[in-house]
Amino acid sequence: MIKQPVNGRRSPQNEDKTSNFKDGYVIGADIGGTNLRVALADTNGAICARWSTSTAGIRSAPKVIDLIAEGIDALLQQTSLPRSALSAIAAGAPGIVDVDQGIVIATSYLMGWRDVPLRALLEAALDIPASIDNDVNVAAIGEHYAGIAQDVSDFVFIAIGTGVGAGIMLNGQLHHGNAWTAGEIGYMLVPGTSEASVERGQPGALESIVGGEGIRTQWQNRWSENATALPRELSATQILDQALSDPLASDVLQLSARTLSYAIYNLSLVLNCPLFVLGGGVGIHPALGEATQQFLHQRNARVQPRVEQSTLGPEAQLIGAISLAIQTAKTRDPIAQR
Amino acid sequence: MIKQPVNGRRSPQNEDKTSNFKDGYVIGADIGGTNLRVALADTNGAICARWSTSTAGIRSAPKVIDLIAEGIDALLQQTSLPRSALSAIAAGAPGIVDVDQGIVIATSYLMGWRDVPLRALLEAALDIPASIDNDVNVAAIGEHYAGIAQDVSDFVFIAIGTGVGAGIMLNGQLHHGNAWTAGEIGYMLVPGTSEASVERGQPGALESIVGGEGIRTQWQNRWSENATALPRELSATQILDQALSDPLASDVLQLSARTLSYAIYNLSLVLNCPLFVLGGGVGIHPALGEATQQFLHQRNARVQPRVEQSTLGPEAQLIGAISLAIQTAKTRDPIAQR
């Protein structure tokens, strides 16, 4: 174990922050609108234990903190580790996050958070340094740490679940934007999207066609017994599953993939990133990825971006949170030394 | 005058590159498809003398270098300065520029350059350190150095002339992209633009509506003696000049401004930059700027970007080149010391 400095502040002679890094364990947490997942990992990123619970109907931030603490207790018990073995926690939250201040500025109406000091709440409850970021950004960190974007310093992670969002990594750093909203591409305007102004909390122009809920809506708007033998009530992935055999499902896939290809084309024009990673429950569907790539190849772009599926899938957020927690352990003083 | 190190390479003890900086003069050059402008400035950026000439019909890079050298001779004569007073040159070129290698990868068909080692040609001809970048990027540097974007570390400069391009500054640094094509927004797809694939060298989807040539085309496509009392042959700025009084000119303005507002909205979603600067001969037209802002305000964006006209106008590229040349003088060894 590396010797800790006697007092809390490192002396100027000891500026290499990693030299202060104690081997130990970290916690990664993925706070979702319906599920909370917590994992304990060593500082090589190997996951030692996992815990999850439902967050359906839970809007209170202190209640979410209680659940995380409960999960950590369970993980410590599972691994027979003492609490003192934990050196940091990081959490992804489904909203706009001020990373510097550690505040969740806003989440979707599901949780309804406004200006929640999540980092301070975590540190107060757990007594270890905490970091937080937007869940899509955290997933991008995950793909960079252990997924398809390892060793790629410039890429865009596009999460397609119910809605659509992006995590933008430039020069190996997340681009957060001036008001922490960079990557809010669910509202992007491309040919075929509605031009109408969108009320906050309502699906954006792009995600109304490309997101999971949007795909369901497009399907239902077009559905009739003449158009398809499939039922009207299907999930987005069920619709995509049928795209090879059902003409209506094929139409909806083509619409979503063409619209997504326009968004990726625009992002590529603006950022000139070599890699786009499709993630999220809908984004990792092979049919959507393949059709999107076909539309992109049809364009005569000077620079043809590479589009790949996430290799971490639903693990991206959790692994990203672990990576962020390891970084936090390496660069921040333990709470007791502050 | 600060003492120069005796040998060409600075010793490790002398790593502060600015300490090697000799007070002197720099050259900024703006290489355009129709005009070449060259200016001599002191290292505070004050322009001491200017020179310009037509480049119409000139496709040869060595010929452009000859013209720049001719311009510098004239500027030195004008100012009675010796050649040894010059410490660096920087040039903006109308194309895709590999800034690291100093190569113009491609320009528009007007000049038809492919892989021209412009930096090496300038250094060989002039015997002073040279830097080059894309002309829109150089204009963004200008606005950052002495224009509306002073003290703004994150902004997008949108140049609207014949076509449309953007220079993206993030954290005070230009974002060039993996293949030096970042900011090629003239090809952006937004509602109302053509979805067809565009041949290289042809106007992009966005610039077909927002660019000067696009505005002229939109005007001519709609023109009839019943629709307007104005002539069919008008320039883009003449059309915009008439937008308050002529219904057809107003229609074309509204179309261009709405389309431009969609592009800025998309850029704001992706980058979350607080400031957008409109430049270029068409971009600085007040009617276009005002109408674009009105369309943007109508959207219910979480983050409302500020849209401002360039304060440097047609000077942006030249001042940016001067700023880049000053930076070059401060950070690069004189040629004789290499």
Overall average pLDDT of the B226-255 stretch? 97
Residue of B259, B270, B296, B298 to mutate, interface with A, max A Cβ within 10 Å: B270
Q: How many CB pairs under 8 A join A and B?
A: 129
Confidence at B109, pLDDT banded by 50, 70, 90: low
pLDDT tens, residue by residue, A149-172: 999 999 999 999 999 999 999 999
pLDDT for A202: 85
pLDDT tens, residue by residue, A95-109: 999 999 999 999 876
Residue whose entry in the numeric block shows the structure tokens 């005007």: B219
Distance, in angstroms, between A46 CA and closest chain B CA? 32
Q: Is residue A4 part of a domain?
A: no
pLDDT for B6: 33
Neighboring chain B residues of A188 at a CB cutoff of 8 Å:
266, 269-270
Average pLDDT, chain B: 91
**Is the pLDDT score of A316 beyond 90?**
yes
Q: Is residue B6 part of a domain?
A: no
H/E run at residue A87: strand A86-93
Residues A182, A250: one domain? yes
Residues A57, A187: one domain? no
Q: Is A108 an 8 Å CB contact of chain B? A: no
pLDDT top residue among B300 and A242: A242
Overall average pLDDT of the B217-235 stretch? 97
H/E run at residue B330: helix B316-331
For the domain that residue B255 is a member of, what is the CATH number? Answer: 3.30.420.40
> Can you tell me the distance from the alpha carbon of A184 to that of A182, in angstroms, rounded to the nearest whole number?
6
> Can you tell me the distance from the alpha carbon of A93 to that of B29, in angstroms, rounded to the nearest whole number?
49
**Is the pLDDT score of B186 beyond 90?**
yes
pLDDT tens, residue by residue, B245-264: 999 999 999 999 999 999 99
Q: Is residue B237 part of a domain?
A: yes
Q: Is B303 an 8 Å CB contact of chain A? A: yes
Residues B265, B125: one domain? no
Q: Is residue A299 part of a domain?
A: yes
pLDDT tens, residue by residue, B263-298: 999 999 999 999 999 999 999 999 999 999 999 999
**Is the pLDDT score of B110 beyond 80?**
no
Residue whose entry in the numeric block shows the structure tokens 């915009």: B240
Neighboring chain A residues of B177 at a CB cutoff of 8 Å:
154, 271-273, 303
Residues B157, B70: one domain? no
**Is the pLDDT score of B201 beyond 90?**
no
Closest Cβ opposite residue A190 in set B184, B190, B200 = B190
Residues A20, A100: one domain? yes
Overall average pLDDT of the B304-321 stretch? 96
Q: Is B187 an 8 Å CB contact of chain A? A: yes
pLDDT tens, residue by residue, B317-337: 999 999 999 999 999 888 877
Distance, in angstroms, between A290 CA and closest chain B CA? 19
**Is the pLDDT score of B191 beyond 70?**
yes
Nearest CA in chain B to A174: B271
Q: Is residue B276 part of a domain?
A: yes
**Is the pLDDT score of B132 beyond 80?**
yes
Q: Is B330 an 8 Å CB contact of chain A? A: no
pLDDT tens, residue by residue, B39-82: 999 999 999 999 999 998 888 999 999 999 999 999 999 999 99
pLDDT for B22: 55
Neighboring chain B residues of A199 at a CB cutoff of 8 Å:
300
Q: Is B295 an 8 Å CB contact of chain A? A: no
Nearest CA in chain B to A262: B189
Overall average pLDDT of the B168-176 stretch? 97
Average pLDDT, chain A: 91
Whether residues B269 and A299 touch (CB distance < 8 A) is answered with no
pLDDT top residue among B6 and B157: B157
pLDDT tens, residue by residue, A204-257: 999 999 999 999 999 999 999 999 999 999 999 999 999 999 999 999 999 999
**Angle at CA of residue B89, ends B84 and B90, nearest 5°:** 175
pLDDT for B85: 96
Confidence at B204, pLDDT banded by 50, 70, 90: very high
Residue of A269, A275, A306 to mutate, interface with B, max B Cβ within 10 Å: A269
Nearest to B23 by CA among B85, B79, B74, B90: B85
Distance, in angstroms, between A188 CA and closest chain B CA? 5
* DSSP codes, A275-323: EEEEEHHHHT-HHHHHHHHHHHHHS--SS--EEEE-SSGGGHHHHHHHH
Residues A133, A190: one domain? no
pLDDT for A200: 72
Percent of chain A predicted with pLDDT > 70:
93
**Is the pLDDT score of B141 beyond 90?**
yes
Q: Is B271 an 8 Å CB contact of chain A? A: yes
Q: Provide CB contacts within 8 A for B167, sequence distance 6+.
A: B134, B136, B137, B138, B139, B140, B141, B156, B157, B159, B174, B183
Q: Is A99 an 8 Å CB contact of chain B? A: no
**Is the pLDDT score of A15 beyond 60?**
no
Residue of B181, B265, B269 to mutate, interface with A, max A Cβ within 10 Å: B269
Q: Is residue A93 part of a domain?
A: yes
Overall average pLDDT of the A279-294 stretch? 97
Residues B222, B97: one domain? no
Whether residues A269 and B184 touch (CB distance < 8 A) is answered with yes
Neighboring chain A residues of B168 at a CB cutoff of 8 Å:
270
> Can you tell me the distance from the alpha carbon of A117 to that of A104, in angstroms, rounded to the nearest whole number?
6
Whether residues B270 and A188 touch (CB distance < 8 A) is answered with yes
A 10 A CB-CB count for B79 gives: 14
Distance, in angstroms, between B174 CA and closest chain A CA? 11
Residues A71, A170: one domain? no
Neighboring chain A residues of B198 at a CB cutoff of 8 Å:
300
Task: Give the domain range for residue A196.
Answer: 150-311
Closest Cβ opposite residue B200 in set A192, A193, A302 = A302
Q: Is residue B3 part of a domain?
A: no
Total domain count for chain A?
Answer: 2
Taking only residues 246 to 265 of chain B, the set having a beta carbon closer than 8 angstroms to any beta carbon of chain A reads 262, 265
Confidence at B17, pLDDT banded by 50, 70, 90: very low
* DSSP codes, A128-197: S-EEEEEHHHHHHHHHHHHSTTTT-SSEEEEEESSSEEEEEEETTEE---TTS-TT-GGG---TTS--S-
Residues B229, B294: one domain? yes
Residues A189, A126: one domain? no
Whether residues A300 and B269 touch (CB distance < 8 A) is answered with no
Nearest CA in chain B to A298: B197
Percent of chain A predicted with pLDDT > 90:
83
pLDDT tens, residue by residue, A42-90: 999 999 999 999 998 888 999 999 999 999 999 999 999 999 999 999 9
Q: Is B153 an 8 Å CB contact of chain A? A: no
Q: Is residue B182 part of a domain?
A: yes
| Residue A63, helix vs strand vs coil | helix
Overall average pLDDT of the B115-127 stretch? 97
Residues B208, B239: one domain? yes
pLDDT for A22: 55
Closest Cβ opposite residue B303 in set A154, A179, A265 = A179
pLDDT for A6: 33
A 10 A CB-CB count for A253 gives: 26
> Can you tell me the distance from the alpha carbon of B128 to that of B72, in angstroms, rounded to the nearest whole number?
12
**What is the end-to-end Cα distance of chain B in Å, rounded?**
20
Q: Is A40 an 8 Å CB contact of chain B? A: no
Residues A177, A242: one domain? yes
